[in-house]
Amino acid sequence: MKKVQRVDMLFEFLRVFLGLIIAYAITVVFVMIASKGSMADAVRNFAIGPFVNARRFGQLMGKFIPYVLMGCGFCFIYSAGRFSLIGEGIVNFAPIITCLVMFKTNLLVGLPLWLNLTIMVALCAIIGAIVATVPAFIREKLGQSEMVLSIIMNFMLLFLSLWVLKQFLLDRSISMQATKMYPANMKFYSLVGTTNFHSGIYVAAIGWVIALILYNYTKIGQKIKTVGANPQFALYSGINAIAAPFIAQMIGGAFAGAAAAVDAFGLYPRYQYTALTNIGFDGLLVAVIARKKPAYIPIAAFVLAYIRTSAVVLNLSTNIPVEFVNMMQAIIIFFVAAEHFLSKSRQKVIFRLARNKEQEAHS
Amino acid sequence: MSKELLRMENITKIYSNGFMANKDVSLTVHEGEIHALLGENGAGKTTLMKILFGLEDYQEGRILIRGEEVRIANPLDAIAKGVGMVHQHFMLMEGLTVAENIVLGIEPGKAGVFDKETAVKMTLEAAEKYNLPVVPNALVRDISVGVKQKVELLKALIRGVRLLVLDEPTAVLTPQETRELFVQLRDLRSRGYGIIFISHKLDEVMEICDNVTVLRRGRVVGTGRIADLDEKKLSSMIVGREVVKTVDREAPRRGDLVLEVRNLSYVDDIGKIHVNDLTFAVHAGEVVGIAGIEGNGQTELSEVITGLRPATKGDVMINGQSIKGRNIDQIRKLGVAHISEDRLVYGCAPDLSVWDNIASIYLSSKKFARGPFLSKRELNKFVDECIEEFEIATESRNTPVRLLSGGNIQKVIVAREFTSGANLIVANQPTRGIDVGTASLIHKLLYKYTREKNVAVLLISSDLNELLNHSDRLLVMRKGRFNAHFTDLSRVTDELLGEYMLGVRSMTEEEMGNVL
Ligand SMILES: Nc1ncnc2c1ncn2[C@@H]1O[C@H](COP(=O)(O)OP(=O)(O)OP(=O)(O)O)[C@@H](O)[C@H]1O
Ligand SMILES: [Mg+2]
């Protein structure tokens, strides 16, 4: 049945690809109706906008990097059958605490860049894991909804982060609400010119490998999958059905923390989040597109980063309203994530394969 | 020659993963015929019946009902066309009454107001007409499995079906109930109904069926009149070779005490007593059987012993250690393996692969582990061996268990538990729904494990032949207590056992003797 697997992969790819094409087709139609400027321009901006110059490609990569980490984290939470959205709040919270260490202590001063970055990412991951224990505790020990609590907590974390910022870290010399500039040995550096494509990519790569190993090759990864698939069966098999999802949520929190670190210290010169970033929700989408398999996360993260960047480009370079751009995104995501799209044709190919195999066996 | 009721012609079914479950299958059923549909686990019996009942589509072939070609879209459509199906696992609403279940979907009444009286009347009329006595106002949750089956039959009959599909109907019945069912089926046959009867129990097939169609790997490999066949021929048609069923049993050499249950009681949340002050033991090297009508505490007993439920009173000792205060993992490590009766709830995770389902009990142990890592290579090898030894029909070790046939899912569970290295196997319905070939393999293994590896087995089953042929001692459970204990099984008949199970007879403590 190797062939069937190949067919499956082909159709996975086709689904993403055709999803994009269909979305473009719809764009063309709408652009014809809505746009006053050149239609060709609009379509081009949307389709290849992210690739036309280094700066835009950098933008894409700048989104891609945290998406990979956040997506990996969600694979664990989601595989355990949980829906903690706490990653969203961690993006705001973990870096601001790290900024306290950065600006209010001497611990990082004078250390080499690589060491500082390692410490900062690790610190954010630890904070993320700790924060994630709150909804996990509520769910596993008290039986309440981790989803509701995590959404409420996201806002609490946002306001707490803003309070810390204003109280301790505000740079009063500028008009915006932000910290001072990060010291040169405490931030990721750009890999291509001055674009957003920064050295956080290494963190994403390492994080991905860790996620792959954790998910596929360790006992805890296997426990998480088993509990998520059937908690009663897990219990019967002797698996601790409380500990495994708890740990899954902590792993998710740690990855969210790492995603926060690469975003906050990679894309911006100073801490300047004043609202939720949406990276948490996007991470969930990435995990859904990747069918909660860490192996597919980089592709899924790239597709989403691409769509998001296209939308920005389109929005900036044409007079098409932003609501419309958002709608385009929704359509693409729908096609990419929808399981039934193309399933009929896939069926047909597989039937033909089965019949051929049958004939071979008989001749 | 009576009239043709159903003709399925050259049906080919390919599942979405490319698996061809039926290939050119044809099947004809006439009025007044009981037609046996036989085959090994995974042969495609249920698939074919799901097609007939509108639950699965098919790629080739046609279905004719009374000579007219039809396309059956869904179960409602099937019923409208006169086809009814009684699934192996009943599909009744436990909280509703018998009458409410029977008229569900065709409720009498005006403007959405349920007319209870008419429902009861309809039920009684149907019960009378088809000779299937039931109590209309009883709650389904309180009635026995035998009665539930009658309710399922009535449910189909009241909707006017003429062709009934019964998927392994006798798996859960006592001999008395089976006999009663057969009387009713013969009655339906004489009224001109057509019946398709799926079973792995060949003696029953010989007794009640007229014709037979045998499937193997999705193809028809034989058809015939039952009158021209015998059990031996049937079983070799099914597996393609001869099945040697009987193992010559030597007397067990009883070894150390492995399982000791003392004054054990289990009372559930709503105060119902399931296990009532039981004391017994199982020694190394012996198989102790527990007979009983379903719902008399056997399942609760096995679940308390294996840690899925807490004991209310009393204690369970395994290899000399109490299970008190231990979690399931720790109890398993005392040396317990458990084949749960509830195969889809406890026994497996349907969405996970065969590999995942076998690996699940090793995730907290040192076996197959390198520190926090799983040794995939060793596990792969182990799982492949399980698949081979237990003849699990699966594409690969990575196939999700939900895609296997009912019997093959059971094989995965049995394989996992038998190979776990435990010295106490609590086996609850280990061969339910398993074909003759594999059932005899499992029985041989039970025998081998007890005699050669000194394993102790607690065998709970509703299959009396299984209990009588493969136990060394036998206890009968009724209402949470034992009411019989046999140490010499050679004189025990199905009949006698049935009477103890139903409570018509019961032994005194002296008669039972030493149950330890
Ligand atoms: N949804 C599905 N997708 C893919 N394969 C399936 C699916 N359902 C069943 N199969 C495969 O089809 C084959 C036939 O299954 P089926 O349930 O018809 O067997 P069966 O004859 O009823 O066996 P049993 O006696 O064990 O109940 C099996 O090998 C099974 O793995
Ligand atoms: Mg079946």
- Kindly write down the DSSP assignment for every residue of B115-152, as one continuous string: -HHHHHHHHHHHHHHHT----TTSBGGGS-HHHHHHHH
Nearest CA to ligand 1 atom 28: B42
Residue A256 lies in a domain: yes
Residue B154 near residue B126 (C-beta atoms within 8 A): yes
Spell out the per-residue pLDDT of chain A, length 363, in tens.
466 667 777 777 777 777 767 776 776 677 667 666 666 776 777 777 788 888 889 999 999 999 999 999 999 999 999 999 999 999 999 999 999 999 999 888 889 999 999 999 999 999 999 999 999 999 999 989 999 999 999 999 999 999 999 999 988 898 889 999 999 999 999 888 888 899 999 999 999 999 999 999 999 999 999 999 999 999 999 999 999 999 999 999 999 999 999 999 999 999 999 999 999 999 998 998 888 899 999 998 998 898 888 878 877 777 767 677 677 677 766 766 666 666 677 777 777 777 777 777 666
Residue B222 has what pLDDT? Answer: 92
Phi-psi map region of A143: left, alpha, beta (phi>0 left; psi -120 to 50 alpha): left
3-class secondary-structure state, position B25: strand
Distance A4 CA to ligand 2 centre (A): 25
What ipTM does this complex have?
0.84
Residues touching ligand 1 (Cβ under 6 Å) are: B 15, 17, 19, 21, 39, 41-47, 393, 403-408, 433, 435
Looking only at the bridges linking them, the beta strands covering B287-291 and B473-478 are parallel
Residue A150 has what pLDDT? Answer: 94
Distance CA A205, CA A202 (A): 5
Residue A96 in contact with partner chain B when CB distance is under 8 A: no
Q: How many domains does chain A have?
A: 1
Residue type, A218: T
3-class secondary-structure state, position A28: helix
Longest dimension (CA), chain B: 71
Mean pLDDT of B111-118: 75
What does the block give as tokens for B64?
Answer: 């004719």
What are the tens digits of pLDDT across the range B223-233? Answer: 999 999 998 88
Distance B37 CA to ligand 1 centre (A): 14
Residue A353 in contact with partner chain B when CB distance is under 8 A: yes
Distance CA A307, CA A337 (A): 13
Residue A230 has what pLDDT? Answer: 94
Q: Is B110 exposed, middle or buried (0-12, 13-18, 19+ CB in 10 A)?
A: exposed
Distance CA A125, CA A261 (A): 8
Distance CA A330, CA A324 (A): 10
A220 chain-B contacts, CB cut-off 8 A: 372
B199 backbone dihedrals φ, ψ, rounded to 5°: -160, 155
pLDDT-derived band at B62 (thresholds 50, 70, 90) equals very high
Query: Crossing angle, helix A279-289 and helix A297-317, to 10 degrees?
Result: 130
Mean pLDDT of B307-333: 94
Q: What is the CA radius of gyration of chain B?
A: 24
Give the CB-side neighbour count of residue B137, counting CA atoms within 13 A: 4
Sheet with B211-216, strands from edge to edge, namely B83-86, B163-167, B194-198, B33-39, B211-216, B219-225
Residue B287 near residue B426 (C-beta atoms within 8 A): no
Residue A150 lies in a domain: yes
pLDDT-derived band at B112 (thresholds 50, 70, 90) equals low
CA–CA min distance A113, chain B (Å) = 32
Residue A217 in contact with partner chain B when CB distance is under 8 A: yes
A358 chain-B contacts, CB cut-off 8 A: 20, 23
Q: Which residues on neighbouring strands pair with residue B337, listed in sequence order?
A: B425
Residue A318 lies in a domain: no
Residue A95 lies in a domain: yes
Residue B393 in contact with partner chain A when CB distance is under 8 A: no
Q: Which residues on neighbouring strands pair with residue B8, listed in sequence order?
A: B27, B63
Cross-chain residue pair B374–A218, CB shorter than 8 Å? yes
Residue B301 has what pLDDT? Answer: 95
User: Which letter, b or e, does each residue of A274-304 get, where b requires 16 or more Cβ atoms within 10 Å of its Cβ?
Assistant: eebbebbbbbbbbbbbbebebebbbebbbbb
Distance CA B98, CA B106 (A): 14
Residue B398 in contact with partner chain A when CB distance is under 8 A: no
Residue B514 has what pLDDT? Answer: 81
Average model confidence (pLDDT) across chain B: 89
Residue B297 near residue B470 (C-beta atoms within 8 A): no
**Ligand 1 pocket test, candidate residues B8, B11, B12, B19, most atoms within 8 A of CB:** B19
Ligand 2 (single-atom ion) residues, CB below 5 Å? B 46, 406
Nearest CA to ligand 1 atom 24: B41
Which one of the ligands is nearest to B391 CA? Answer: 1
Residue A48 has what pLDDT? Answer: 79
Distance B407 CA to ligand 2 centre (A): 7
Residue B363 in contact with partner chain A when CB distance is under 8 A: yes
Residue A295 in contact with partner chain B when CB distance is under 8 A: no
Give the CB-side neighbour count of residue B404, counting CA atoms within 13 A: 34
Residue tagged 């079906």 (tokens): B161
Nearest 10 degrees: Cα torsion B437, B439, B445, B448 = -90
What does the block give as tokens for B174?
Answer: 């006592």
pLDDT-derived band at B282 (thresholds 50, 70, 90) equals very high
Tell me the whole-structure pTM to 2 decimals. Answer: 0.83
What are the tens digits of pLDDT across the range B344-403? Answer: 789 999 889 999 999 999 998 888 988 899 999 999 999 999 999 998 989 899 999 988
Residue A354 lies in a domain: no
Identify which has the larger pLDDT, B241 or A100. A100
Chain A 218-237, residues with CB within 8 Å of chain B CB atoms: 218-220, 222-223, 225-226, 229-230, 232-237
> Chain A residue with minimal CA distance to B21?
A354
Nearest to B411 by CA among B436, B430, B383: B430
Helices (H), chain A: 2-34, 39-48, 54-79, 87-104, 113-140, 146-164, 200-217, 219-229, 231-236, 243-267, 279-289, 297-317, 322-337, 343-362
Nearest CA to ligand 1 atom 31: B404
Q: Which domain holds residue A294?
A: 65-302
Q: Which of A2, A233, A348 to mutate to test the interface with B (most CBs of B within 10 A)?
A: A233
Check residue B454 and report its DSSP letter: -
Residue A20 lies in a domain: no
CA–CA min distance B382, chain A (Å) = 16
